[in-house]
Amino acid sequence: MLSMLDRMFSPRCIAVVGASRDERKVGSMLLGNLLSSGYEGDLVVINPGASEVMGVKSLPSLLDVEQDIDLVVVAVPSGSVKQVLLDAERKGVPAAVVISAGFREEGAEGRLMEEELMEVVRRSGMRAVGPNCFGIMDTSARMNATFTSLWPQEGNIALISQSGAVGSTVLDWMMKMGLGLSRFASLGNKMDVQEADLLLMLENDPKTRVVGAYIEGLEDGRRFIEAASSITRSKPVVVLKSGRSESGARAASSHTGSIAGSDQVYDAAFIKANVLRVDDLDSFFDAMSIFSRMPLIERDGIAVVSNAGGLGVMAADACSETGVSLASLSRSTMEALEEAIPGMASSLNPVDLRGDATADMFIKAMEILSEDPAVNGMVLLSAPVDTVDLEAVSKAAVDFSEKKIPMAVSFPGGEESDRALTIIREGGLPDFPTPERAVGAMAFMLRYREGLERVNENELPSSDADINEAREVIRLARESDRDSLSEEEGKRILKAYGVPVPVEGIADSCVEAVDVARALGYPLVMKVLSPDIHHKTDIGGVIVGLEDEDSVKEAFKLIMERARRSFPGAKIEGVSIQRMVKGEEVIVSLVRDETFGPVLSYGMGGIFVEILKEVSQRVLPLSREEVDDLIRSNKAYQLLSGARGRPPGDLGSLTDIMVKVARIGMDLEEIEELEINPVMVGPMIEGCWAVDALVTLRRKDQ
Ligand code: COA
């Protein structure tokens, strides 16, 4: 059975409300586009002042239409939209596209008006795209229900765009490149239909092979992750999300009135769902183009073939920058190349056929290379030199592409190259303006392929945590009306989850401190114990390296003095004394993001976090493999895995700790934030320790 959204994209009858007798108006343009795209279902116009518009019958109201309507497209001034939706509700219309602007994006009054529309939509159960949108398209239904006449040929790219302008830019580019569209939706203010709904629909749309989405901000991030994780198992989703910079984010917020979440968390969410995030329109185009036209690369290892050493070297540089490997060709491949193409400049990869290479030589080289099991993809480059017949090379490449090995073509240049590229495009091969972008497109395929493997391993680790003990700590804090826990309480939660913390004792007098120190043995660390002091180091509330009784006494006095001076009203419970552990410092933390929920962060500790700001994140829940991947994705990995003769750190224990912290994030919703700063990563097999714990609870009113 067709879903409601599928029906919206393949309606049997469309009513256009607001098509004017004036052909320059938006509603009329939209009607004109429906007519010129060749929509073959029934069409009716709703315009009380006309009996027909552009030859289409017009009626005063939706309620006057006798037959069932599958989709109503609304292009009347904002103040009239609610009444149109109420009529649609009475008429039992299942879907609406609201083009009209003048809602949430225009401030408080508009927001109220949009809420009223949402109420009608929710109550009636209809699905609605918009308001403030550009419309939708389905090329196989020959339905252009937008007010742009840009109408790409039928194909396998689905496009979702929060912005109408970006949508039309991409449609125009697709037409130029000869790429085909399956479905398009401009989402505007997203009062009802969101990206997640469309991803779920497109997952089952047999015509769609790749989805491109332009996003400014998401509201229900977890639903997006769920839908995206599902579709990306079978189809790549390429996302261009704007608002990376702070000022960009502000512009994006005001553009369609959405509040963009912190941009870095978007990266984490996209990694989680194997969504391919790209940074700019060029990359957006390149990724969609290669996914649309080529089979997915099986594994790393590409060959570069050119008639121009310079272009080949550029491609090789791009490979090293994007992490794509140049396949090491087998001896027999190189011999076969040399035999088939006498006088070639290099049979090493990048393969240089020489400036005077003929089309026949290109095809021979491609044939031989494709037989080498190390070659999983090919980049074909050619310069527009007089000795080469680029058009013949293009025809050869198109014939060769039957081989089903992914190819990326680049003939950089001007008019001469363009003529040849027409043959490439018509032959269904993807082309790129530069060697770097051709290699970049291969890199996108590999990133998606690697993500597929990562996601397949995704099994959640089991847990033997003592949740009741952890809940009891939270209950007691709540009872005493506190949102933040003391270090000792935080550590009790960590211990309940099996996170190792160094042995410690508590003392509230100098004498007691000496007793605790004797029992623990040296060296020791002493810290102020107070639920009111969070950044203990900043006030000198942590003293490390205590080696004997005298230094313990001295430290106790100093810490008490400093705490009282810096926080006169604070409740000071004494000091905690711990065995000093050694290792590299990293920070592990848990935060709740408004858009995506609990997020695990990880980075280098100490001064590094401030200076390098090297923090990596993943959205929960997390498998052990994902935690491993998180650790590897951060620069701290090099340091911890034994750079420059340092002893390698115990990364297995670090993964254990992070898996457990992630579990806390899933189990204990009352925890708003948890930070372990630092986790000491000891040398291999010596373990890691949570040396500190800062826990904040969700405020009661949240
Ligand atoms: N039911 C049926 N027809 C109605 C109607 C209603 N409730 N209210 C108005 N109409 C008719 C009008 O009579 C007019 O037809 P006519 O010229 O033959 O008399 C037609 O619908 C259009 O109405 P009009 O008042 O002329 O509006 P408009 O065309 O100037 O503007 C919008 C309407 C929707 C285009 C405009 O309000 C708007 O929102 N523009 C911005 C759209 C946009 O940018 N969207 C986001 C893109 S990313």
Tell the residue nearest (CA) to atom 15 of ligand 1.
20
Query: The whole model's pTM is what?
Result: 0.90
Per-residue CA distances from 574 to 150, 510, 521, 531 (Å) = 72, 9, 19, 11
Tell the residue nearest (CA) to atom 41 of ligand 1.
101
Mean per-residue pLDDT, 12-19: 97
pLDDT value for 346: 86
Percent of the chain with pLDDT over 90: 75
Out of 16, 47, 159, mutate this one to test ligand 1's pocket (max ligand atoms within 8 Å of CB): namely: 47
Reported confidence tier of residue 658, pLDDT bands at 50, 70, 90: very high
Out of 16, 26, 82, mutate this one to test ligand 1's pocket (max ligand atoms within 8 Å of CB): namely: 26
pLDDT value for 499: 96
Distance of alpha carbon 436 from alpha carbon 418, whole angstroms: 18
Binding-site residues, ligand 1, Cβ < 6 A: 17-18, 20-22, 25-27, 46-50, 75-77, 80, 84, 99-102, 132-134, 164, 186, 188
Mean per-residue pLDDT, 517-533: 90
pLDDT value for 702: 61
Per-residue CA distances from 208 to 151, 237, 516 (Å) = 16, 11, 68
Q: pLDDT tens for residues 252-305? A: 544 444 444 478 899 999 999 999 999 999 999 999 999 999 999 999 999 999
* Residue 25 CA, closest ligand 1 atom number: 29
Distance of alpha carbon 460 from alpha carbon 405, whole angstroms: 35
> Which region among 75-89, 443-457, 544-558 has the lowest average model confidence (pLDDT)?
443-457
Calculate how far, in angstroms, residue 146's C-alpha sits from the geometric centre of ligand 1. 14
As separate numbers, helices (DSSP H) first and strands (DSSP E) second, the chain gives: 24, 28
> Which region among 152-156, 196-200, 534-538 has the lowest average model confidence (pLDDT)?
534-538
pLDDT value for 701: 65
* Residue 147 CA, closest ligand 1 atom number: 47
Tell the residue nearest (CA) to atom 22 of ligand 1.
18
Average model confidence (pLDDT) across the chain: 92
Q: pLDDT tens for residues 115-140? A: 999 999 999 999 999 999 999 999 99
Calculate how far, in angstroms, residue 422's C-alpha sits from the geometric centre of ligand 1. 41
Reported confidence tier of residue 145, pLDDT bands at 50, 70, 90: very high
Cβ(431)–Cβ(290) below 8 Å? no
Is pLDDT of 84 > 50? yes
pLDDT value for 260: 40
pLDDT value for 454: 78
Mean per-residue pLDDT, 141-165: 96
- Could you tell me which residues come within 8 angstroms of residue 91 by beta carbon, excluding any fewer than 6 positions away? 62, 63, 65, 69
* Residue 165 CA, closest ligand 1 atom number: 48
pLDDT value for 258: 46
Calculate how far, in angstroms, residue 27's C-alpha sits from the geometric centre of ligand 1. 6
Calculate how far, in angstroms, residue 43's C-alpha sits from the geometric centre of ligand 1. 18
Calculate how far, in angstroms, residue 617's C-alpha sits from the geometric centre of ligand 1. 46
> Which region among 167-181, 367-381, 464-478, 678-692 has the lowest average model confidence (pLDDT)?
678-692
Mean per-residue pLDDT, 37-58: 96
Calculate how far, in angstroms, residue 135's C-alpha sits from the geometric centre of ligand 1. 14
Q: At what angle do helices 359-371 and 390-400 cross, to 10 degrees?
A: 30
In order of start, what are the domains of the chain with their CATH numbers?
A: 1-131 (3.40.50.720), 152-291 (3.40.50.261), 294-453 (3.40.50.261), 456-500+582-702 (3.30.470.20), 503-580 (3.30.1490.20)
Q: Cβ–Cβ contacts within 10 Å for residue 363, how many?
A: 18
* Residue 17 CA, closest ligand 1 atom number: 2
Whose tokens are 């570069």? That residue is: 304
* Residue 80 CA, closest ligand 1 atom number: 7
Distance of alpha carbon 391 from alpha carbon 410, whole angstroms: 13
The four Cα atoms 301, 306, 312, 315 give a dihedral, to 10 degrees, of -50
> Which region among 254-258, 352-356, 517-521 has the lowest average model confidence (pLDDT)?
254-258
